[in-house]
Structure 1
């Protein structure tokens, strides 16, 4: 069996992912790094509370410091990833994150950490993670043959889901034992990732890396390219709107369980655990779904099923039942994540991978932020179940809009052809 190498366009014998040395180095190293990030990230608000003497405002600032880089840094990071050696970028970011987390651990151990320094270190940690994530996503194209891209992205999705499922709970346990321990564990994970990345042999440099142009011109080229793609031009905003409704539902579930039903906070952990298992199952089965279900059915049908599951939450009240419904939503979300990543990566010119992924990430993050803001207004006027029902209606409108757009109905997921070699690559929705 042969496959087309996206970077060279030549047929070579396909090596199974389990024997692809570079992919294993990247996957295992970054799993440890992601796991460490979940350990430390879950504890940042708790650490802010501890350092500030119990200030809720400090915890809010810590959460904000972890969100702001997504709005500020994504587009410039995409330009950087499309200019520099992506393997080198990942290595520098891993070393940087190991240093930042080690500094946090040392400062906590010595009792010398203040809120301003904590906020700066959180922002640095998240910023390095954003750049590294974009670089890794683009590097997969040179490490994995195009025919195995779906399987690779499904494994990456499962990696993130499993790290989130295990890292958050374990991080809080470590934090209760020793405040510095989650951050030291995160530093070790990032250091191992840096070593693994150092031994990757694949050439991860983007085309035309020697060119030097104005950053705003490179950024404008990426934005223009996305705008000219009928499918991406519609799919990215619709996905962002859907993400906003998902954010409303996730926040409303906490209000329903803790405030309105009077359950203990540990019940929220139960719900998140069940839903996390759903997301992991979706990642593990994403390849099966993408092989058997056309992309339009995955997207339009997925939005519609999301709306039905949300409506079901209006009538279901038990924590386990809500967790199962939320887990089913996460299963769909994981399949979405793999399908969207494969489509974007196979249709985007190699030299624009960073910028296009950054645009999609920025718009999606904006949708989640808008959902969080909308939740504040909804919960002031309605109870939790009503907020969820209104979100179900909004999601149904998203599904209808996706069904009515021709570009959404004509899209096809292509996994056995090389990445588009030039910015003028044709959009498959025109086929």
Structure 2
């Protein structure tokens, strides 16, 4: 007998899951290349424009604009097309874009307009690939390992950010084309690795072709009907707005208000990056011990306290440690919300719902960056950080008052398949009555007699076992028998010798005789006891 729980336990660990390792490694190479190239885009724009600050601003805008333009159509395409094909095409496209950028930079033939176009193309392909990879994770890991898989994915992003930025700047200092050449090689390696994944990444078959607008409308309608997800999403978006204030205020406090050199910003970011990696690696431990509302509301309250401490302490080390704890909380928070979104979203809507959620949170981050600049100009770093801490505390209190947020819980993915057996191949749990007769051949009383045949086990295509509340009651004990008789459930009381003839199956069972003192009662004509074996 093979149940769903047994198949899940029997699944190999993630370190032995070949498809997951190929998917994880390929996307880590692309994340690392994105961090190397992304940190150098403003520097390259500054060089080729002759020091124009306007070119730096345009390069930053070209990296942000695709999140508003590309994300929703990309979610629809991810739900329509084979996700492995989408990821391979995006990886090959990024290799071509980054290779062209490296060649143009090497030949000193790169203009500002060409740079902006290449930046937009690189970021757009990255968005599509990330949505496809996020939806594909459920295909290569069972439900019980989804949290661990997403924790490793979050750690991958944190490590790429921690190492990719310094590596990119070092390579750019040596040769400005080298970060993009390295990123192109990483994308090409990712495309090759995706070729060897055996899992089927095709979305559920669709009966008709529809317009993108109609598919997006389906995702919006589904999201509107999810009270918990609809309540959690604004909380996450507002938290992203306030976190932008923290990141910009940190620079102002360190450099302008406390007078530290600019290099201390890198030190603080390095310390905080280590906290993010630690939080991502321990997210599964926290999620196993705390509910979703506790992680969500507790994380917001802890953020508020840490932000207050950052406004009151001085020195890059203390600020870095507090910011590291904030990043650790953010990593756990990110894994928990990702698991919640993926386990509550149907398979056919994974790309579109992730795109909608990403668009909303990206809009919050962008709006928070613009608002933080005005707030810092008016109030300074310390007061702005205290105001953001107050806003975060208010957000935690407001979230605690929303019933839908308090009801959030980690759900099992609807219809998620395990990698050890294809969907629909699960053998249903064996019902209690399928185990055959009770010990003793199903006959009460005395004597052995013939054993009844076992009830055949249900086939894999039979109906699933009823819930525990609907199981059959235990059979009643057999009534007492007179001397020389034994009780057979189907035939009543029969003599204690020989085998039951076929003729007995046509005879109606009679009630058990009442035992009494003295000799055995005379058998009645037509009863089972008058028949000779």
TM-score (norm 1): 0.94
1:232-271 pair list within 5 angstroms: 232-271=229-268
- 8 Å Cα contact 1:146-1:418 kept in structure 2: no
Is 1:364 equivalent to 2:361 in the alignment? yes
Distance 1:187 1:210 in 2: 38
Distance 2:264 2:238 in 1: 28
For residue 263 of structure 1, report the CA deviation from its aligned partner.
1.6
For residue 372 of structure 1, report the CA deviation from its aligned partner.
0.6
For residue 11 of structure 1, report the CA deviation from its aligned partner.
6.3
1:69-88 pair list within 5 angstroms: 69-88=66-85
- 8 Å Cα contact 1:345-1:419 kept in structure 2: no
Q: Which ranges in structure 1 are unaligned for 5 or more consecutive residues?
A: 422-431
Quickly say closer, same or farther: Cα 1:199–1:385, change in 2 above 3 A.
Answer: same
Quickly say closer, same or farther: Cα 1:200–1:210, change in 2 above 3 A.
Answer: farther
Distance 1:3 1:282 in 2: 34
- Give the match for residue 224 of structure 2: 227
1:121-132 pair list within 5 angstroms: 121-132=118-129
Distance 2:184 2:8 in 1: 40
- Give the match for residue 429 of structure 1: none
Equivalent of residue 350 in structure 2, options 350, 353, 356:
353
For residue 373 of structure 1, report the CA deviation from its aligned partner.
1.1
- Give the match for residue 294 of structure 1: 291
Equivalent of residue 196 in structure 1, options 193, 198, 201:
193
Distance 1:398 1:162 in 2: 29
Distance 2:4 2:158 in 1: 29
- 8 Å Cα contact 2:342-2:413 kept in structure 1: no
For residue 124 of structure 1, report the CA deviation from its aligned partner.
0.3
Distance 1:366 1:34 in 2: 22
Distance 1:91 1:388 in 2: 43
- 8 Å Cα contact 1:238-1:402 kept in structure 2: yes
- Give the match for residue 301 of structure 2: 304
Distance 1:254 1:364 in 2: 23
Quickly say closer, same or farther: Cα 1:286–1:120, change in 2 above 3 A.
Answer: same
Distance 2:392 2:289 in 1: 24
- Give the match for residue 455 of structure 2: none
RMSD (CA atoms): 1.8
| Larger of the two Rg values belongs to structure | 2
Quickly say closer, same or farther: Cα 1:209–1:35, change in 2 above 3 A.
Answer: farther
Distance 1:386 1:127 in 2: 37
For residue 13 of structure 1, report the CA deviation from its aligned partner.
3.2
Task: Report the secondary structure of 1:69's partner residue.
Answer: helix
Output one character per residue of 1:60-117: Cα deviation in whole Å (capped at 9) or x when no partner.
1101100000011111110010000001000000000011100110000000000000
- Give the match for residue 164 of structure 1: 161
Distance 2:11 2:135 in 1: 20
For residue 260 of structure 1, report the CA deviation from its aligned partner.
2.0
Distance 1:2 1:190 in 2: 41
- 8 Å Cα contact 1:33-1:190 kept in structure 2: yes
Output one character per residue of 1:306-348: Cα deviation in whole Å (capped at 9) or x when no partner.
0111111111111111111111111011001111111111110
- 8 Å Cα contact 2:78-2:131 kept in structure 1: yes
- 8 Å Cα contact 1:4-1:147 kept in structure 2: no
- 8 Å Cα contact 1:313-1:322 kept in structure 2: yes
Is 1:376 equivalent to 2:373 in the alignment? yes
Distance 1:11 1:178 in 2: 50
Task: Report the secondary structure of 2:80's partner residue.
Answer: coil
For residue 12 of structure 1, report the CA deviation from its aligned partner.
8.2
- 8 Å Cα contact 2:345-2:414 kept in structure 1: no
- 8 Å Cα contact 1:348-1:419 kept in structure 2: no
* Residue-pair matches, total: 418
